[in-house]
Amino acid sequence: MSQEEHLAPFAFGARLRQAMDTRGPLCVGIDPHPALLADWGLNDDVDGLVRFCRTVVEALADRVAVLKPQSAFFERFGSRGIAALEKTVAHSRDAGALVLMDAKRGDIGSTMTAYADAYLTKGSPLFSDAVTVSPFLGFGSLRPALDAARISGSGLFVLALTSNPEGAEVQRAVTDDGRQVAQVLLDRLRTENAGEEPLGSFGAVVGATLAEAGADLAVNGPLLAPGIGAQGAGAADLRRVFGGAVGQVVPSVSRGVLRYGPTVAGLREAARRQADELGEALGQVS
């Protein structure tokens, strides 16, 4: 029986909380960039892409909380790459992982509605448990995605305080009411998640590489924390950055696990080590 059949009555926040409590909070990215394909001895083509994804799903989908395919690395191969992405999403979910589509979509009106149809509407070939979105056309521009997610039981991760240094010029900008843009977004997420238990379905992306969050992260929703491993952050940084909200953190690792392929055993051992390090840093007992 698939995860969807097991958990269909629950919203994404509840399903994510359940997965984090039973499997640990680790999210592993599926990032088949050219250098990594070469390191695995694979060609930088659709066949290499398919073999890469099949191995990652076989190794990890039954043991980590979340798999996060990066859409761009599939899109670069055109329609055959998108077909590979569709299969990766379906196989991951069938094997028990929650799928977070890392697409960072953001637009207005009917275009945002079309993105929501693609990723957040049941029956779509790319239907995922959650998707990353960009709010920098205004939080209100996300309304079609928020509405679609509520209907399908999916979730969103909204870019708020990202790990790239350039993000600060927008995210740390101060609005007329004295709040930073990032805080405005976090406050809107808190409103969207009000009253949801055990966890809201609308989360934020907050980089683990930040010197400090400098914001109120208590949004009653999950906090995706990229930047662990190759970008320089470690498990021990999570408490410093996230403080009292650390229990809602979904730490995201890509190269720190994927570079231990191409064997299933190597990927599983790398994921286990990451999970153990995270559990120790967060005071969890495995």
Residues 6+ apart with CB under 8 A from 47: none
Mean pLDDT of all residues belonging to the chain: 94
Which residue has 């939080």 as its token pair?
139
Q: Where are the alpha helices (DSSP H) in the chain?
A: 3-7, 12-23, 34-39, 46-60, 72-75, 78-94, 109-120, 143-152, 168-171, 181-192, 237-242, 255-258, 264-281
Residue-wise pLDDT tens digits, 70-92: 999 999 999 999 999 999 999 99
pTM: predicted TM-score of the whole model, two decimal places: 0.94
Domain boundaries, the chain: 3-281
Which residues are known catalytic residues? 104
Return the pLDDT at 285. Answer: 42
CB 245 within 8 A of CB 200: no
At the topology level of CATH, where does 3-281 sit? Answer: TIM Barrel (3.20.20)
Residue-wise pLDDT tens digits, 105-153: 999 999 999 999 999 999 999 999 999 999 999 999 999 999 999 999 9
* Residues 158-183, mean pLDDT to the nearest whole number: 97
One-letter amino acid of 271: A
